[in-house]
Structure 1
Amino acid sequence: MTKIVVVGGTGLIGSKVVADLAEQGLEAVPASPHSGVNALTGEGLADALKDAQVVVDVSNSPSFEKKAVMDFFTTSTTRLLAEAKAAGVGHYVALSVVGTDRLPESPYFQAKTAQERLIAASGLAYSIVRATQFFEFVDGIADSATVDGTVRLPPALIQPIASDDVARAVSRAAVGDPVNGITEVAGPEPFGMDELIRTDLTLKGDPREVVTTPEAGYFGTPLKERSLLPGDGALLSETRFEDWLRASERA
């Protein structure tokens, strides 16, 4: 049976990937500090990767501060790659972000770019799945842009995706052949960021006013109109934001 180790396997995406792979009859092993495996320190890594054919890295930094986030992704990825090589892993899969190489001013995107480069240069067969922002984090965009009860956002385009669809894309990559490159996944429709948040707040009965401000950033980072959109050939999911939001509210 194929053994797939999912690093970050107890988080939002990781837990869904583990469940999806298990439903396919595969041995999916969640690896995280909760299970005694720490990619940052190396604790438990060698044992976790023993006899693994595939490693899936969906871990994320607990801090987005510039030095901390860079240290997390470069240190953990370097350790993971080394242990994967030592274990004879045949396929290294990592989750990244659409637009990573277009936002050099963002410390988080800088760190994800560094991670991608380490993987590509490792000599291991690999697949990088870049996803757009998750529906689950739309509220965080609104909160980060709120000052004195007003949400100030640019009209730059964004094409968010449900986390379930991201997990399925990562699972597909894990059971498929390495592409030795990048695959992008996104939701079915683009929105102006201001429009997306306005829709979100309206459907939730949130009274905050959304003001369109072209100079406003994305978590403090300036955007061009298409900085966060996938390129040609991206895989588009079918789950629409409004349908997902209404289902979530009912749940």
Structure 2
Amino acid sequence: MKFAVIGGTGLIGSQVVRNLNAAGHEAVPHSLSTGVDVLTGQGVDAALAGADVVVNLTNSPTFDDASPAFFRTSMDNLLAAARRSGAGHFVILSIVGADQVPELDYYRAKTLQEDILKAGPIPYSIVRATQFMEFVADVLSWTADDDTVRLPRTPLQPVAAADVAATVADVAAGSPLGGTLDLAGPDTYPLDELGRITLAAKGDKRSVTTDDTAGMFAAVHGDVLTAGNGARIAPTHYTDWLK
């Protein structure tokens, strides 16, 4: 099968392309750097021409209140092009629990992206992943100073990007789900404990202070960002990934 992987040069997209090509498919990466602009529509029809499956892994350049407009415009352009090209499967990557945190602009935007896909003309699959292990260090940096990292006790279930890419490729190569597959790592941690584990593994002497008002994840209530029943559990443990 032929796959058009939009956002195919990024962290997840580049691995999805490699996985699909290694399985004997033809997966072509597309992004701004290859001349495809999902906001203006430039290059989109050419990118999707002849594709059996469209995998959309593009991301908003900001996480603020501008992000819903990005996802609406990009999805409208890509779905229209997919309909013109005759693609029979459209796949996106979203976030476990995105619809449970309306306080966050970016999570509302991802929920909007899901809703647009569900209402669109193309058979679809949605893969929802928990927080990437690769982003934990960034999360710590948001509320850190020279001596202390302040973190809430929000439960997270981190997943490795390689496991996310493998699942996206697997779903894209299969029949459309007409629904959502949740993917999570095998272990759940309160974010403050995840911070302590991360700093210790890196030899970072800063201390972690539990502060349930600190950072973006303070807006999350309960365990909505962890996987529920029926989720696929990825194999990579965070402590092994750190090594």
Q: What is the TM-score of this pair, normalised by structure 1? A: 0.94
In the alignment, which residue of structure 2 is the partner of 1:249? Answer: none
Local SS of the residue matching 1:146:
coil
What amino acid is the match of 1:166? V
Q: Percent identity?
A: 47
Indicate if the aligned counterparts of 1:4 and 1:55 stay in contact, CA closer than 8 A: yes
Amino acid of the structure 2 residue aligned with 1:4:
F
Deviation at 1:34, TM superposition (A): 0.8
Q: Which amino acid aligns with 1:55?
A: V
Structure 2 regions of 5+ residues with no counterpart? none
Contact 2:96 2:227 (8 Å CA) reproduced:
yes
Query: 1:78 & 1:230 partners in 2: Cα distance?
Result: 29
Aligned to 2:191: 193
Q: What CA deviation, in whole Å up to 9, does each residue of 1:23-72 have, x standing for no partner?
A: 001000101011111111111010111111000011111112212x1121
- 1:92 alignment partner in structure 2: 90
Selected match of 1:203 from 178, 201, 204: 201
Deviation at 1:147, TM superposition (A): 4.4
Which residue of the partner structure matches residue 222 of structure 2?
Answer: 225
Task: Tell me which moved more, 144-153 or 72-81.
Answer: 144-153
The residue correspondences of 1:1-251 to structure 2 (distance < 5 A) are 2-67=1-66, 69-147=67-145, 149-218=147-216, 221-246=218-243
The secondary structure found in structure 2 opposite 1:66 is coil
Give the conservation status (yes or no) of the 8 Å contact 1:217–1:223: no
- For the Cα contact (< 8 Å) 1:155–1:225, is it kept in 2? no
Amino acid at match of 1:171: A
Per-residue Cα deviation, 1:49-103 (whole angstroms, up to 9, x for no partner): 1111000011111112212x11211111110011001111100000001110010
Shifted more, 143-152 versus 119-128: the winner is 143-152
For 2:206 and 2:8, locate their aligned partners in 1 and report how far apart those are by CA, in whole Å: 35
**Runs of 4+ deviating beyond 3 Å:** none
- CA–CA separation in structure 2 for the residues paired with 1:84 and 1:208: 49
Q: Which amino acid aligns with 2:185?
A: G
Contact 1:162 1:187 survives alignment (8 Å): yes
Instruction: Report if aligned partners of 2:95, 2:110 keep a CA contact under 8 Å in 1.
Output: yes
Q: Summarize deviations over 1:130-185 as a string: whole Å, max 9, x none.
A: 00111100001100122463211111210000000000010011001111111000
Question: Any stretches of 5+ residues in structure 1 without a counterpart?
Answer: 247-251
Cα distance in 2 between the residues matched to 1:155 and 1:239: 22
- Letter of the aligned partner of 2:238 in structure 1? F
Q: 1:215 offset after TM fit, Å?
A: 3.1
Alpha-carbon RMSD across the aligned residues, in angstroms, is: 1.1
On the 8 A contact 1:119/1:126 being kept in 2, the answer is: yes
TM-score, normalized by length of structure 2? Answer: 0.97
Contact 2:127 2:180 in 1 (8 A): yes
**Structure 1: how far apart are the matches of 2:44 and 2:135?**
30
- Tell me how far 1:123 sits from its aligned partner: 2.5
| Alpha-carbon distance between aligned partners in 2 of 1:61 and 1:149, rounded to the nearest angstrom | 32
1:142 partner amino acid: L
How far does residue 217 in structure 1 lie from its aligned partner after superposition?
Answer: 4.1
CA distance in 2, matches of 1:96, 1:184: 9
Q: Give the letter for the 1:239 counterpart.
A: T
Supply the AA of the counterpart residue of 2:227: P
